Amino acid sequence: MHVISRKPLREFAEKHPRAKGPLDAWFAEASRADWASFGDVKATYGSADVVGGNRVIFNIGGNKFRLVVKMAYKCGTVFVRFVGTHDEYDKIDPETI
């Protein structure tokens, strides 16, 4: 998959150093993946959840952080829409972010 973009992941990791390793691992895995559907994502990340608008929510760092991406399965692209703490996640609507 082509992940757009890595910049928000890096910026978040600068503020939350404990997130760096898990976010780097997720980025590496997603970049190598060939997900054709949410079922493929779920097979890789059992705790992933899907919401409206082709958004997928990942628990990062042992569920310490949340990552919301928009999936474009047909063109093999993952758009990073949000990365944050649980408190920050609780303030957004993952279906529209």
| Mean pLDDT, residues 50-74 | 95
pTM of the predicted structure, to 2 decimals: 0.94
Helix 20-32 to helix 7-15 angle (10° resolution) is 160
48 touches 37 (CB < 8 A): no
Cα–Cα dist 65/77, whole Å: 22
In this predicted structure, the answer to whether residue 94 has a pLDDT above a threshold of 90 is yes
Task: Classify domain 2-89 at the CATH class level.
Answer: alpha beta
In this predicted structure, the answer to whether residue 53 has a pLDDT above a threshold of 90 is no
In this predicted structure, the answer to whether residue 20 has a pLDDT above a threshold of 90 is yes
Q: Enumerate long-range contacts of 39-45, CB under 8 Å, 24 or more apart.
A: 41/71
CA 34 to mean position of chain CA atoms: 15
